[in-house]
Amino acid sequence: MPTKTIRSKADLAINGASPAFAELLHVGRPNIGNREEFLRRVNQVFDNQWLTNNGPMVQEFERHIADRLGVKHCIAMCNGTIALEIAIRALGLQGEVIVPSWTFVATAHALYWQGITPVFADIDPVTHNLDPSAVRRMITPRTSGIIGVHLWGRAAPIDELQAIADEHKLKLMFDAAHAFGSTYKGQTIGRFGACEVFSFHATKSFNTFEGGAVVTNDDTLAETMRLMRNFGFAGFDNVIHPGTNGKMIEICAAMGLTNLDSHDEVVAINKRNHAAYTTALANIPGISVLPYGSTEDNSHHYVILEVQKGFAATRDQLVAALQAENVMARKYFWPGAHKMKPYRDLYPNSGLLLPNTEQLAERVIVLPNGANVTDEIIDIIRSVITINIH
């Protein structure tokens, strides 16, 4: 795919040369498993003549996920956002709920959409996850819960958040959208808090086209969420709970079952690439690749580059230079949820309490990862970064 070697500023597309790559190299390009297996399952769906409504594929998918994560219940949903909304409602959250601003905006939206006020707490600039002392500072008499996010698949400080929740009688749940297959102190993510919510969106390390799930060991909570997912139906004609339509369809479950088979391979490729990026970009002043803890596993799906003030170009100049070469690097989660219009209107000054979030939002670039990334690609990305692009 590379079309040229970059040796000097004049070779850069941003300076008028042709892009290094003929095709766009996207962040979050989907991981697609064995096509024949998927199509075999699609044929099975047609043979079953059961397209949705808790069909056999969804039931099999839920069993596989629950077994793999070591949790009692998996409730598959149409996407991660609806899964968050249903979990929030089933837990009875209300008033204010503490969340990071340094996350995908859906974490905050899932609350606000339901008339609950997201209260943003600052993060630890080293881990990018919630800072427990910042969470403590945001508790008020109206606080009903905390939603921790395992950002970039790295486990949030679960024990510390659980201690705060217990002390203040708050509900704790996790947005585990990035954390499929991650571990915390040797235990798989999925068993922590009251429940954990996954997204299986196409851009995540493991996908079902669109999809999500709530996993929990709480029987009552699981039962409530199953009802809510299907309009509150407890059987034909018998509605016993308010509900919505959060169902996963059979084709999505078929994709999930197929992709589960290759997820370990995807993770191995991501880890290899992450290590290659880390080596290639080491010793460049002002540039660092976020390391993941050696004692906690994660999919290494996200390669996070931090551009410090000392670097020769700004973060935005670097993103522009990479994109000019067709490396579609992204500024996740710029500018931070608290600066997006609905929440900026709600809290014009919230940035004062979020200094680490604001600084990181100006520094981070997400680089492409997955099976399409090769050493040659990483080498060209290195050249773009190391050539002074001023």
Ligand X SMILES: *Cc1c(COP(=O)(O)O)cnc(C)c1O
Task: Give the Cα separation of 143 and 118 in Å (integer).
Answer: 10
The SS3 assignment for 88 reads helix
Shortest Å, Cβ 343 to ligand X: 15
List all residues 6 or more positions away from 175 whose beta carbon is below 8 Å from its beta carbon. Answer: 80, 84, 99, 103, 107, 147, 148, 149, 150, 197
Contact code string over 204-233 relative to ligand X, x by CB under 6 A: --------x---------------------
201 belongs to the binding site for ligand X (CB under 6 A) = yes
Considering beta carbons, is residue 79 or 357 the nearer one to ligand X? Answer: 79
Shortest Å, Cβ 98 to ligand X: 15
Task: Give the Cα separation of 176 and 197 in Å (integer).
Answer: 5
Q: Where are the alpha helices (DSSP H) in 131-174?
A: 132-137, 158-168
Task: Give the Cα separation of 235 and 115 in Å (integer).
Answer: 30
Q: List the interface residues with ligand X, window 84-103 (CB under 6 A).
A: 103
Q: What is the DSSP letter of 14?
A: G
Where b means 16+ CB within 10 Å and e means fewer, 241-269 reads: eebeebbbbbbbbbbbbbbbebbeebbeb
What is the residue whose two structure tokens read 């698949």?
Answer: 153
Determine contact, residues 102/360, Cβ cutoff 8 Å: yes
336 belongs to the binding site for ligand X (CB under 6 A) = no
109 belongs to the binding site for ligand X (CB under 6 A) = no
List 11, 96, 175, 297, residue binding ligand X (CB under 6 A): 175
Stretch that binds ligand X, among 170-178, 222-230, 265-273, 321-329 (CB under 6 A): 170-178
Q: List the interface residues with ligand X, window 119-158 (CB under 6 A).
A: 149
Considering beta carbons, is residue 177 or 266 the nearer one to ligand X? Answer: 177
Contact code string over 35-54 relative to ligand X, x by CB under 6 A: --------------------
List 31, 94, 101, 107, residue binding ligand X (CB under 6 A): 107
**Catalytic site residue from 204, 247, 339, 341:** 204
Contact code string over 273-292 relative to ligand X, x by CB under 6 A: --------------------
List 31, 81, 129, 326, residue binding ligand X (CB under 6 A): 81
| 204 given a catalytic annotation | yes
CA 72, chain centre distance (Å): 23
Shortest Å, Cβ 83 to ligand X: 7
Shortest Å, Cβ 4 to ligand X: 34
Considering beta carbons, is residue 301 or 315 the nearer one to ligand X? Answer: 301
List 19, 55, 80, 246, residue binding ligand X (CB under 6 A): 80
Stretch that binds ligand X, among 52-60, 171-179, 181-189, 225-233 (CB under 6 A): 171-179
What is the residue whose two structure tokens read 């190391």?
Answer: 386
Q: At what angle do helices 80-90 and 219-229 cross, to 10 degrees?
A: 120
Task: Give the Cα separation of 324 and 190 in Å (integer).
Answer: 39
363 belongs to the binding site for ligand X (CB under 6 A) = no
Residue of 260, 216, 255, 252 lying closest to 86 (CA atoms): 216
Residue 325 neighbours by CB distance under 10 Å = 26
31 belongs to the binding site for ligand X (CB under 6 A) = no
Task: Give the Cα separation of 119 and 125 in Å (integer).
Answer: 19
Stretch that binds ligand X, among 74-82, 88-96, 322-330, 355-363 (CB under 6 A): 74-82
Sign of CA dihedral 69, 73, 76, 79: negative
Shortest Å, Cβ 155 to ligand X: 14
Considering beta carbons, is residue 216 or 383 the nearer one to ligand X? Answer: 216
Determine contact, residues 246/110, Cβ cutoff 8 Å: no
Shortest Å, Cβ 197 to ligand X: 8
178 belongs to the binding site for ligand X (CB under 6 A) = yes
Q: Which residues participate in catalysis according to the annotation?
A: 204
Judged by the rule CB under 6 A, the positions of this chain that interact with ligand X are 79-81, 103-104, 106-107, 149, 175, 177-178, 199, 201, 212
